[in-house]
Chain A
Amino acid sequence: MVTSRNVADLKKGEIGIIKSFSDREMSLKLLEMGFLPGCEVRLDAVAPFGDPICVRVGGCYCLSLRRNEAASIVVE
């Protein structure tokens, strides 16, 4: 069974390729911050208590975002 995964589902160190966004409003912010479809995202670190998380986009820079924000980024 294939369910759609998102960035919040990634395990530490795991890499996902951005496929699409599930939240219309949020997608624009994420795009402008550099989350592009086709880009690699790696879960770098998780803050204590599991939220927010730190991800690396395209290998070159690090962004931190909350889990609910990360959940709107669908990856494959």
Chain B
Amino acid sequence: MKSSQNKIALIGNPNSGKSTLFNQLTGLRQKTGNFPGVTVEKKFGTLRYTSPDGKQADATLIDLPGIYSIYPKSRDEQVVVDILANPQHPDYPDAVIVVVDASNLQRNLLLFTEIADLGLPIVLALNMLDVAESMNLQVNAVQLAMPFAVPVVRINARTGEGVPNLKEAINRVLGQEQVAMSYFLDPLETQEGLVEEVKKTYALENNYLAMQYVCQHDEFTFLNRPERQQLDELIEKYSFDKTDFLTHETITRYERLRPIVQKAQTVKGAIDQPAWTRRLDRFLLHPIWGYVAFLFVLLVIFQAVFAWAQYPMDMLDMATAEAIDWTKKTLPEGVLNDLLTDGLMAGIGGVIIFIPQIAFLFGLVGLLEESGYMARVMVIMDKLMRKFGLNGRSVVPLISGVACAVPAIMTTRSINNPYERLLTILVTPLMSCSARLPIYTILIALVVPDETVLGILNLQGLVLLGLYLLGLVGALASAWLFSLFIPRREPSYFILEMPTYKLPRWSHIGYIMFDSVKSFVLEAGKIIVAISIILWVLASYGPGDRMDVAAEQALQTTSSASASIQEAAVASARLEASYAGHFGRFIEPAIRPLGYDWKIGIALITSFAAREVFVGTMSTIYSIGAEASEDALTIRKRLQQERNPQTGGPMYTPAVSFSLLMFYVFAMMCMSTMAVVYRETHGWKWPIIQLIYTMFLAYGSAWATYQLLS
């Protein structure tokens, strides 16, 4: 069942330059997908090399998650050993490249010896020699190659130096006959009986692989229940203690590595991290300056996502509107035309509008990650976040959520603990995203006087700030609440490597931006478009001919008014008679306690497509005319004039307006967010729980607000 293309796996410690090397080897010929059977993202690409007969050949390069040893600490890391221990796995490699950070030889070689003992054809890529050099360390590749009997290639993943040699070495290894196995650490030394019996029972040849069956069988997806039970019995029979064995194994490997490292490595002076890394750390981890610097970084991110991204977003918005307009006019009128333009194209427009924000956000976050600063942010925020069941790493998504929850949830991938990642995904949408801003602005302008308090502060601005803070408090409190109910499967730990500061590589940032946009458009986009079409159908069709009748009536009652008012009245009447309108009427009893009527009900529903739709829907419903949404003042005036049919007073009393504001602070963002939560959690369970929870929260707080104020 092997495909003709060779498969090569890339393995290494986190921060060893593995991803950089992956980009260097594959360029833009890379894809993302999932490892079969598990919910871990898989990055793979095409590696082009010259085969022995001089022809160009392609191999599939698979980027495996960064690990410190083959004994996994998280579900992401689990994938590596699940593949390497199972020759039947579709991703089982024909050869392995182990990337080793020369500035941290001993620890990186620990993983290397483990992989080597599994008996796979292997190439050692010696990376970061320049970093080692700056730390007064010199590493001799030849000295390193001798004891291991594998090709050792000096590379610089950042510049691409040594990559042709690496390809040549891969080629050589692939063509090689398998030689007799020599173990770096043979488990037979300590566990002879157990290893022999496992080998016999499962027809294994490799001693170390047999040991992995013993140690990790509960996590191996390719073993069935009787096989696991049988292994448990063997463990019992030989009274094998896993933790003792693993500790002994790790210490022994390190002991045997020490002389090898000493021989291969020349120390030219006091070993220390580069001086500028130390100096920067003194500043960026400082109890006061550290936070000041972090705040400044936040400010830049906000600026980029709110202000700078606005220009390309406006352009995309205009381009979409123009394309829809053009299509509408060019194609013959009819249902197909409407479906194509108002349904499908509007849906696609709703997807691509996010591209600038996603690209900017991921680019900036990638920049922080590449430079090494992100690790410092996690350190200074960990204690605070831990109080709420989160992790220092949760800071990034929470901040990004103020721009848009969609890219923010995508950044949670950097949280290795699945539990803390889930909590972060669940609460990130409570951060007030940029799409809620128009709603906030209009409703605040309606009921909060434009006054100055305490000399300098604008009251409306203060209320706006209050809403954002309320979102943050809601997010942290919810995280704490969820942490009480969701069982923690893996203990939280925070041992984090602090990489040296590096100048970012722009091409790598480019890949990150390209990749995040691509996966968003292709995967979340599909779902957004689908829901857009459904919403279009619901708003365009009504039971029987009621919509036409309603439109006719509206035409008659407004016959004396101008054409634009007439048109708007017809649109409003049709909407009321549509399925969406009926639905608005249907849910009216449910939202009545919040002070809303069916018109607000429709806006609530349509704004599920995207928050900004709320303002547009309101303008349609309140007969303001389609273009009026550009002019916030007009909408405000119309809303001010809207009367409550029951009381005769204004519809938008402070009670109703604040109730709506509360609703939007807590309500489940939009379907794009739901789609992305579905994608990131691989199922509908969590998006649905999240929807119910936020609906409950939004409804409850809106109800309390309305009842208190009215």
Q: Flag if A69 contacts B104 (CB, 8 Å).
A: no
Closest Cβ of chain B: how far from A46's Cβ, in Å?
8
Which residues of chain A have C-beta atoms less than 8 A from B340's C-beta?
Answer: none
Q: Flag if A29 contacts B493 (CB, 8 Å).
A: yes
Q: Flag if B495 contacts A64 (CB, 8 Å).
A: yes
Pick 18 A–B contacts, CB within 8 A, sort by A: A33-B495, A45-B285, A47-B380, A48-B380, A49-B384, A50-B383, A52-B383, A54-B379, A59-B272, A60-B137, A61-B497, A61-B498, A62-B273, A63-B495, A64-B496, A65-B496, A66-B493, A69-B493
Which residues of chain B have C-beta atoms less than 8 A from A36's C-beta?
Answer: 106, 251, 254
Give the residue of A30, A31, A59 whose beta carbon is less than 8 angstroms from that of B271: A59
Which residues of chain B have C-beta atoms less than 8 A from A32's C-beta?
Answer: 68-69, 71, 107, 110, 250
Which residues of chain A have C-beta atoms less than 8 A from B392's C-beta?
Answer: 52
Q: Flag if B495 contacts A60 (CB, 8 Å).
A: no
Interface residues of B in 261-284 (CB under 8 A from A): 270-273, 281-282
- Identify the B interface with A (CB < 8 A): 68-69, 71, 73, 103-104, 106-107, 110, 135, 137, 243, 246-247, 250-251, 254, 270-273, 281-282, 285, 287, 290-291, 375, 378-380, 382-384, 392, 493-498
Q: Flag if B273 contacts A56 (CB, 8 Å).
A: yes
Closest Cβ of chain B: how far from A36's Cβ, in Å?
6
Q: CA of A47 to CA of B5 in the docked complex: distance in angstroms? A: 49
Which residues of chain B have C-beta atoms less than 8 A from A61's C-beta?
Answer: 103-104, 273, 497-498
Closest Cβ of chain A: how far from B595's Cβ, in Å?
43
Question: Lowest 5 A-B CB distances belong to which pairs?
Answer: A62-B498, A34-B107, A48-B287, A59-B271, A32-B68
Give the residue of A31, A48, A50 whose beta carbon is less than 8 angstroms from that of B251: A31
Q: CA of A7 to CA of B254 in the docked complex: distance in angstroms? A: 21
Which residues of chain B have C-beta atoms less than 8 A from A64's C-beta?
Answer: 375, 378-379, 494-498
Give the residue of B106, B243, B281 whose beta carbon is less than 8 angstroms from that of A34: B106
Tell me whether A44 is interfacial, beta carbon within 8 Å.
yes
Binary per-residue interface labels of chain A (38-76) against chain B in the complex, 1 for a CB within 8 Å, 0 otherwise:
000000110111111010101111111110010000000
Interface residues of A in 12-43 (CB under 8 A from B): 24-34, 36-37
Q: Is the interface of A mostly helix, strand, loop or mixed?
A: mixed
Give the residue of B106, B285, B287, B495 whose beta carbon is less than 8 angstroms from that of A65: B495
Q: CA of A56 to CA of B449 in the docked complex: distance in angstroms? A: 56
Which residues of chain B have C-beta atoms less than 8 A from A29's C-beta?
Answer: 73, 493, 495
Q: Flag if A49 contacts B383 (CB, 8 Å).
A: yes
Q: Flag if B382 contacts A52 (CB, 8 Å).
A: yes
Closest Cβ of chain A: how far from B610's Cβ, in Å?
39
Q: CA of A65 to CA of B287 in the docked complex: distance in angstroms? A: 17
Across the two chains, which residue of chain A brings its CB closest to B496? A64
Not counting A59-B272, A62-B273, a sample of 19 additional A-B residue pairs whose C-beta atoms are within 8 angstroms of each other reads: A25-B243, A27-B247, A29-B493, A31-B250, A32-B68, A33-B68, A33-B107, A34-B104, A51-B383, A52-B379, A60-B103, A60-B135, A60-B137, A61-B103, A61-B498, A62-B497, A65-B495, A69-B493, A69-B495
Closest Cβ of chain B: how far from A60's Cβ, in Å?
5
Q: CA of A56 to CA of B380 in the docked complex: distance in angstroms? A: 17
Interface size class of A (residues with CB under 8 A): 20 to 34
Which residues of chain A have C-beta atoms less than 8 A from B383's C-beta?
Answer: 47-52
Which residues of chain A have C-beta atoms less than 8 A from B378's C-beta?
Answer: 64
Q: CA of A25 to CA of B270 in the docked complex: distance in angstroms? A: 33
Closest Cβ of chain B: how far from A59's Cβ, in Å?
4
Q: Flag if B382 contacts A66 (CB, 8 Å).
A: yes
Closest Cβ of chain B: how far from A35's Cβ, in Å?
9
Which residues of chain B have C-beta atoms less than 8 A from A44's C-beta?
Answer: 281
Given known A-B contacts A27-B247, A45-B281, A49-B383, A69 and B273 have beta carbons under 8 A apart: no
Q: Flag if B494 contacts A66 (CB, 8 Å).
A: yes
Q: Flag if B246 contacts A28 (CB, 8 Å).
A: yes
Q: Flag if B285 contacts A51 (CB, 8 Å).
A: no
Across the two chains, which residue of chain A brings its CB closest to B498? A62
Closest Cβ of chain A: how far from B214's Cβ, in Å?
16
Q: CA of A2 to CA of B498 in the docked complex: distance in angstroms? A: 33
Interface centre among B73, B137, B379 (most CB of A within 10 A): B379
Give the residue of B251, B272, B494 whose beta carbon is less than 8 angstroms from that of A37: B251
Q: Flag if B273 contacts A63 (CB, 8 Å).
A: no
Which residues of chain B have C-beta atoms less than 8 A from A28's C-beta?
Answer: 71, 243, 246-247, 250
Which residues of chain A have C-beta atoms less than 8 A from B106's C-beta?
Answer: 34, 36, 58
Which residues of chain B have C-beta atoms less than 8 A from A69's C-beta?
Answer: 493-495
Given known A-B contacts A31-B247, A59-B270, A60-B103, A54 and B281 have beta carbons under 8 A apart: yes
Which residues of chain A have C-beta atoms less than 8 A from B137's C-beta?
Answer: 60
Interface centre among A28, A32, A36 (most CB of B within 10 A): A32
Give the residue of B110, B254, B285 whose beta carbon is less than 8 angstroms from that of A47: B285
Q: CA of A37 to CA of B375 in the docked complex: distance in angstroms? A: 26
Which residues of chain B have C-beta atoms less than 8 A from A30's C-beta?
Answer: 495
Q: CA of A34 to CA of B135 in the docked complex: distance in angstroms? A: 17
Across the two chains, which residue of chain A brings its CB closest to B284? A45
Q: Flag if A65 contacts B494 (CB, 8 Å).
A: yes
Closest Cβ of chain A: how far from B536's Cβ, in Å?
51
Across the two chains, which residue of chain B brings its CB closest to A66? B494
Q: Flag if A60 contacts B247 (CB, 8 Å).
A: no
Closest Cβ of chain A: how far from B322's Cβ, in Å?
51
Closest Cβ of chain A: how far from B422's Cβ, in Å?
20
Across the two chains, which residue of chain A brings its CB closest to B244? A24
Give the residue of B68, B246, B291, B494 whose beta carbon is less than 8 angstroms from that of A48: B291
Give the residue of B271, B375, B384 whose beta carbon is less than 8 angstroms from that of A60: B271
Q: CA of A25 to CA of B243 in the docked complex: distance in angstroms? A: 7
Which residues of chain A have C-beta atoms less than 8 A from B287's C-beta?
Answer: 48
Which residues of chain A have C-beta atoms less than 8 A from B493's C-beta?
Answer: 26, 29, 65-66, 69
Q: CA of A69 to CA of B386 in the docked complex: distance in angstroms? A: 14
